[in-house]
Chains A and B, each alone.
Chain A
Amino acid sequence: MYNRSIMSLRIIVLAKQVPDTRNVGPDAMTPEGTVNRSTLPAIFNPEDMNALEQALRLKDEFPGSTVHVLTMGPARATDVIREGLFRGADGGYLLSDRAFAGADTLATSYALATAIRKIGIPDIVIGGRQAIDGDTAQVGPQVAQKLDLNQITYVNSIDEVKDGLITVTRHIDGGVEKVQAPLPILLTVNGDAAPCRPQNAKLVMKYKRATAPMERAEGMPYAEEYEKKPYLTVTQWTVADINGDYDQCGLAGSPTKVKAVQNIAFKAKESKTLAGSDEDINGLVQELLNEKIIG
């Protein structure tokens, strides 16, 4: 099926809106030790951005390809779909339902996999390696498992897609390796892959008012446009829309229970000043070896 002379690919990008934990200020945590979301801006998960770039590069290379962004979250998570549209994605799907809330990686991957099945299994599902709020790196592989797709994790770059095969360079301990696998496939991408391209002026002008229906309020300006311009409506699905099993979604479908959240403040221990002498450096290396910090 992939031996087409003019190949176009169907690609789904998995993206998550996360609190920007990279810019943590003094009031980033509440006294109770939970994330103070009001002080952390919600952003497009950085490694999902790298994944989006890989998807858009394939679209550049294979004209006629389509890229859709799939995300799960509250109404404001539509931001990540808009960010995708502003950079060249063709559309997006927002999974939003109270029943999706409180999902661990199992319930999240269930929801995403079920939605992908509804959309139709694409040639490539691609997402970031992990999200900066949970750092689990489990969702991508679980989606692949549930859809019975091949998977390659830790992707640095996609080198070739040809004759139904994809060749990628992936990160391994101490280096990289080149891997080839048949499509369809799920890929997870590292943060050291190419950064995402900037927003495109024309696309921003076109899609700036793209919204999911749940974001719209009565009497908002330019409401008449939604009738005339269907591309301004982002597909929004509930559990029922994807024929999901409520027991496997959200909190109900999440065996992971958070026992406690601890606010750990790192404290500096005593420091050591070294001169640039060989003696000092050798001493430090020996010390690090002894403490098995390096070796």
Chain B
Amino acid sequence: MANYYTDHPEIGFHLNHPEMKRVVDLREKDYADKDKYDYAPVDFEDAMENYRRVLEITGDVAANVIEPNSESVDLEGPHLENNRMIYASKTVENIEATRRAGLWGVSMPRRYGGLNLPNAVFSMLSEVISAADAGFQNIWSLQSCIDTLYEFGSEEQRQEFIPRVCEGAMMSMDLTEPDAGSDLQRVMLKATRDEENDCWRLNGVKRFITNGDSDIHLVLARSEEGTTDGRGLSMFIYDKRDGGVDVRHIEHKLGIHGSPTCELTYKNAKAQLCGNTRMGLIKYVMALMNGARLGIAAQSVGLSQEAYNEALSYANDRQQFGQKIVNFPAVYDMLSRMKAKLDAGRSLLYQTARYVDIYKCLEDIQRDRSLTAEEKQEMKKYQRLADAFTPVAKGMNSEYANQNAYDAVSVHGGSGFIMEYKSQRLMRDARIFSIYEGTTQLQVVAAIRYITNGTYLGIIKEMLEREVSEELRPLHSRVAAMVTLYEESIAHAKEAADQEMHDFLARRLYDMTAEIIMSLLILDDATRCPELFKKSAQVYVRMAEENVVGKAAYVRNFKAEDLADFRA
């Protein structure tokens, strides 16, 4: 039987990355749960076996329930009935199957009913579900909002909400409004204190809320009257059972039809404050968004895989000019680049997830005991890497997913334009990836400081020191040459001391950063497992070189006064 996990050994390769030992040891806190819960692992190998098992279950549900439902979900979509959102009928089946499989609240500690999965494993589940249906991945992966409630909520709030999510309660993050999209500082939804009932009341409108009729909402609202910026915003928990929030409209979208995008009206809705007032945007939503961004990176990788599979299978099937089209250089060039982007992007996703894991696990340990000096240093290092890598993993993978979906349509030729084929749906579904949770352009903004302060360069140089296998050495030298160009480009941009020029060139510097990092990651993977990654390493490094050399020339020859030719 098809299985989205076991059919793709590349995922298992990343599960078995050497760094996982540290991740799992930290996550399981020396396997302290082993005598308290019958499903807790007793040691590292046991934990890894558990991860493999949960991935197999997810791969099975994805391939045998979610994927077969995906076309019908795309055609039916959700609808509005008496101010409530009703899922497409097959979405309900998907939710039921994932509940039965116990795939909710998976990142939460066992004491609340969770599986205590690290982010790296959560991202793998995400990827696998997205490959089956990217729109359903939205609904499912919004469970990761609970991480933010766990991090910043009170113990009472944890006990009230986390077990429900582990049982399959849906979540949403209600951030954007008609006038507050990318610029969340402009959020106006009003939160007022109701002293009599010892709660808060929310009034206003939220727009573009994914899964907006969920059971438990995290809501960004203005609690400080008279303020106009991010410092007046706080985060609230709204429980649908209390009522007060209606769905006014469901958006009609280009893709991810199964994922309901809602406009919500809050009418005196009862809510609880999560954490402290004024910290809503600047601290909690930033944490929420970082988690969500990694979720989109995983969603992107899943769709990239599906696009590649569709294209490869069509190219092997379709005959023209007396032979399979996969034999034509123009076609296999496309396919090889698709696979290379997929493999390199996936490696970046899991590297980022492991950084997040080490940092977040140490932070969690810190809630119980103080960290040693070394642990503190380790946490700081990985926090910085996680913050630096997340916008790159999200931005690049979302762009790659779009490119792969586009190429999948190209490989299909005329059939790619026909609605009966899946590739058109993948192309429509992918389009939002590089827009929501921060557009690619905003990922560049988040990344640029780490370009100029040398964070990426530091890790790139560290990675360059790693041994690669004999046959990959020529490629490794080419990457080293790219790093030189990269350093020159950064220096040139800095020298100009012109903010607008910095901003203008940022995307190119970001792309160069990402392509060099992914080149080094894929070389590392190909060294450890040539059977899976040797070809992709060959293809990816050449492709990266093609781009980095071009971009370096672009940056080198650019002067601040040239901007005049570009302004709209």
Contacts and interface: CB of A to CB of B under 8 A. Distances in A.
Interface residues of B, number: 22
B291 to A, nearest CB: 21
B57 A199 contact: yes
A205 B102 CA distance: 11
B38 A201 contact: no
A237 interface: no
Nearest to B110: A202
Interface string A193-210: 000011111111110100
B65 A198 contact: yes
B378 interface: no
B359 to A, nearest CB: 25
A199 B61 CA distance: 9
B39 A198 contact: no
Nearest to A221: B45
A229 interface: yes
B317 interface: no
Contacts of B103: 201
Interface string B34-68: 00001111100110011001100100110001000
B100 A201 contact: no
A222 interface: yes
B389 to A, nearest CB: 28
B97 interface: yes
A236 B374 CA distance: 52
A206 B39 contact: yes
B101 A199 contact: yes
B115 interface: yes
A198 B50 contact: no
Interface size class of A (residues with CB under 8 A): 10 to 19
B110 to A, nearest CB: 9
A201 B42 contact: no
Contacts of A205: 39-41, 50, 53-54, 115
Interface in B96-134: 97, 100-103, 106, 115
A197 B100 contact: yes
Interface in A194-248: 197-206, 208, 221-222, 225, 229, 231
Given A205-B39, A206-B39, A229-B38, A198 B100 contact: yes
Contact of A201 (B40, B46, B53, B65): B53
Contact of A222 (B42, B50, B101): B42
Nearest to A204: B53
A199 B60 contact: yes
B17 to A, nearest CB: 21
B467 to A, nearest CB: 32
A142 B57 CA distance: 36
Contacts of B101: 197-201
A184 to B, nearest CB: 28
Most buried by B among A203, A205, A221, A222: A205
B32 to A, nearest CB: 16
A204 B57 contact: yes
A231 B57 CA distance: 22
A204 B50 CA distance: 8
A198 B53 contact: no
A231 B38 contact: yes
Nearest to B58: A201
A229 B57 CA distance: 24
B102 A201 contact: yes
Contacts of B50: 204-205, 208
Given A205-B50, A208-B53, A200 B38 contact: no
Given A206-B38, A222-B42, A222-B46, A201 B97 contact: no
A254 B249 CA distance: 68
A231 B115 CA distance: 20
A211 to B, nearest CB: 14
A202 B100 CA distance: 10
Most buried by B among A197, A202, A208, A229: A202
A199 to B, nearest CB: 5
Contacts of B100: 197-198, 200
B158 to A, nearest CB: 19
A202 B166 CA distance: 11
Contacts of B61: 198
B42 A202 contact: no
Contacts of A221: 45
Interface in A102-124: none
A201 B49 contact: no
A208 B49 CA distance: 9
A199 B54 CA distance: 9
A289 to B, nearest CB: 35
Contacts of A208: 49-50, 53
A203 B46 contact: no
B62 to A, nearest CB: 10
A259 to B, nearest CB: 35
Interface string B473-512: 0000000000000000000000000000000000000000
Contacts of A231: 38
B70 to A, nearest CB: 17
A201 B115 contact: yes
A197 B97 CA distance: 7
Given A198-B57, A208-B49, A203 B102 contact: yes
B476 to A, nearest CB: 39
A198 B38 contact: no
A201 to B, nearest CB: 4
Contacts of B65: 198
A182 B46 CA distance: 46
B50 to A, nearest CB: 5
Contacts of B38: 206, 229, 231
Contacts of A206: 38-39
Contact of A204 (B40, B45, B54): B54
Most buried by A among B39, B54, B61, B106: B39
A220 to B, nearest CB: 13
A202 B102 CA distance: 7
A229 B34 CA distance: 12
A201 B60 contact: no
A204 to B, nearest CB: 5
A153 B430 CA distance: 49
Contacts of A197: 97, 100-101
A206 B36 CA distance: 12
Nearest to A228: B35
Interface of B: 38-42, 45-46, 49-50, 53-54, 57, 60-61, 65, 97, 100-103, 106, 115
Given A201-B115, A204-B53, 10 more contacts: A198-B60, A200-B57, A200-B100, A201-B57, A201-B101, A203-B39, A204-B54, A205-B41, A206-B38, A208-B50
7 contacts: A198-B57, A198-B60, A200-B57, A200-B102, A203-B39, A205-B115, A206-B39
The 7 closest A-B pairs by CB, nearest first: A205-B39, A201-B102, A197-B100, A198-B101, A206-B39, A200-B102, A202-B39
